[in-house]
Amino acid sequence: MAQGFAVVLDLFVTFFKIGALGFGGGLAMLPYIEQQVSHYHNWLTEGEFLDLLAIAQSTPGPIAINSSTFVGFRTAGVIGAIVASVGVVFFAVFAINLLSSFLDKNVENPRVKQLFLTLRPITVGLILAAAFSTGQKVLIDWPSVGIALVAFFLLSRFKLHPIVVVLSFGVTGALIYMFA
């Protein structure tokens, strides 16, 4: 019983830290989530983490919530899923409620504007780091590189809806690898 409680508490604390330090949204949080769940706690292998990314990106909802729910469930069942999900949003809900009145009053303050201008490139860097780290693991052969490049081209050039791209290339990838 105590060991189960310790795991659930560890899930909450870990995902609370991820939520508290995860500036820039779910994609920017990915390197930190990976470090915590795959390298520090060993809750998921690297392969399982890549599966988590596919599931979290393909299902509705924010990636941080989907990730925490998946890891929590895999680690401690339904209670783990609930606790990890609450942990990842707890700080954000608290901080938004606390900061919203301050930001409303200071939205035109030059220092506040500069803070947000500074956070933007940091967020892009975190997202690029996640893309690079994930790309190294999933771009393992020419078909996977081709799928990634064509998907990127279709999304950026033709502004196709991401769901259309995910479904289309999910079927395409399944067919390629089924007959390879």
**How many CA atoms lie less than 13 Å away from 46 in the CB half-sphere?**
8
String of DSSP letters for 27-55: HHHHHHHHIIIIIIS-SS-HHHHHHHHHH
Q: Check residue 61 and give its pLDDT.
A: 83
Per-residue pLDDT tens digits for 63-100: 899 999 999 999 999 999 999 999 999 998 888 888 88
Q: Whole-prediction pTM value?
A: 0.71
Per-residue pLDDT tens digits for 1-59: 556 899 999 999 999 999 988 776 777 788 889 999 999 999 999 889 988 988 888 78
